[in-house]
Structure 1
Amino acid sequence: MKTFYAYHKLEKYFLDFENPGRTGLSKGENIQLIMERNHIKNAVYVGDTQGNMALAKFAGIPFIFASYGFGKPEEYDYIIERPIELLNLF
């Protein structure tokens, strides 16, 4: 079975990824796993839902609310209206 990344020919854009189907871990635990595996100290999570915010909080990383999405999280660390704005945050 092809992964999402392979099916959509996205592998060249990602150095590492994980999912609950491969590890049996939750999404938050998979974020932590990828950070540990790749020695990532400063990560952020960009999303648009309360669930995304909860995952970021679980993983101990800042949550950037993508206001152009579909959700309305209760809290966030930063907000962007367009993806290009990520460049200005860091």
Structure 2
Amino acid sequence: MKTGIIFDMDGTLWDSAKEVADSWSEVLRKHANVQKQELTKEDLESVMGLTMKDIADRLFPEVPEDEQDQIMEECMVYENAYLREHGATVYEGVEETFQVLSKEYPLYIVSNCQSGYIEAFLDYYDFHRYITDFACYGDNKETKDVNIRLLAERNHLERYIYVGDIQGDYEATMKADGEFIHAAYGFGEVDADVIHLQDIRELPGALKK
């Protein structure tokens, strides 16, 4: 049975909230009608995992929808360039865990992020060698459950385990008929009878249970 391990990004593999806040603030300062032009790490943590549309509605609801789209596009483009140059805070043990797991399983990433975000992560840390395939909201505007299923289908996975940190990740995985492990060290809680990791390095052992 071909089994794949699929990772979420934010709150599971890294915390990019500070770097994203810094890069977005540079963009927002150019838009006078945005009321909150200086974003904090906490602002970004509060919207991690949401789609781009929902993030815009939360952070600058006073801006018309068409302009929201334009601002978000500017933020995304600049953010990707910023992260590709500066990186962010990768959780301790991520590469070690990739090294161990990639000997037994193909590894994947599915995220609600914009196009180019996963590539920035893989480029900066030279993690392409561990990740077989990935999918994101920005590439096809599909929800996470759809992208989990699409990735599983195109990689012929008979069993797939999603590792994520928030309730929405769990719910998407259930919709996609996958199995779920909670990255409890991340941004959110999950109300479900699943394995809860306090450190990503616990994952190889958890998969053997």
**TM band (smaller chain):** 0.7 to 0.9
Q: Is the 8 A contact 1:44 1:64 kept in 2?
A: yes
1:6 aligns with 2:119: yes
CA gap 1:63/1:73 in 2 versus in 1, 3 angstroms: same
Instruction: Tell me, in whole angstroms, the C-alpha distance in 2 between the residues paired with 1:73 and 1:89.
Output: 17
2:152 alignment partner AA: M
Matching residue of 1:47? 164
> Matched residues in 2 for 1:22 and 1:63: separation?
23
How far has the Cα of 1:23 moved from its partner?
A: 2.1
Amino acid at match of 2:198: E
Q: Report the aligned-residue RMSD.
A: 1.8
CA displacement, residues 33-78 of structure 1 (integer Å, 9 cap, x when unaligned):
0000001112111111111111111111111111111211111421
Are residues 1:72 and 2:189 paired? yes
Partner of 2:62: none
Q: Which structure features the higher share of strand residues?
A: 2
Q: Sequence identity of aligned pairs in percent? A: 31
Identify the range of structure 1 (1-10 vs 36-45) with the bigger mean alpha-carbon deviation.
1-10
Aligned-pair CA distance for 1:30? 0.7
Mark the runs of 5 or more structure 2 residues left unpaired by the alignment.
Answer: 1-76, 81-115
Normalised TM-score (structure 1): 0.84
Structure 1 unmatched ranges of 5 or more: none
In structure 1, the residue corresponding to 2:202 is in which secondary structure? Answer: helix
**How far apart in 2 are the matches of 1:12 and 1:4?**
17
- Secondary structure class of the residue paired with 1:43: strand
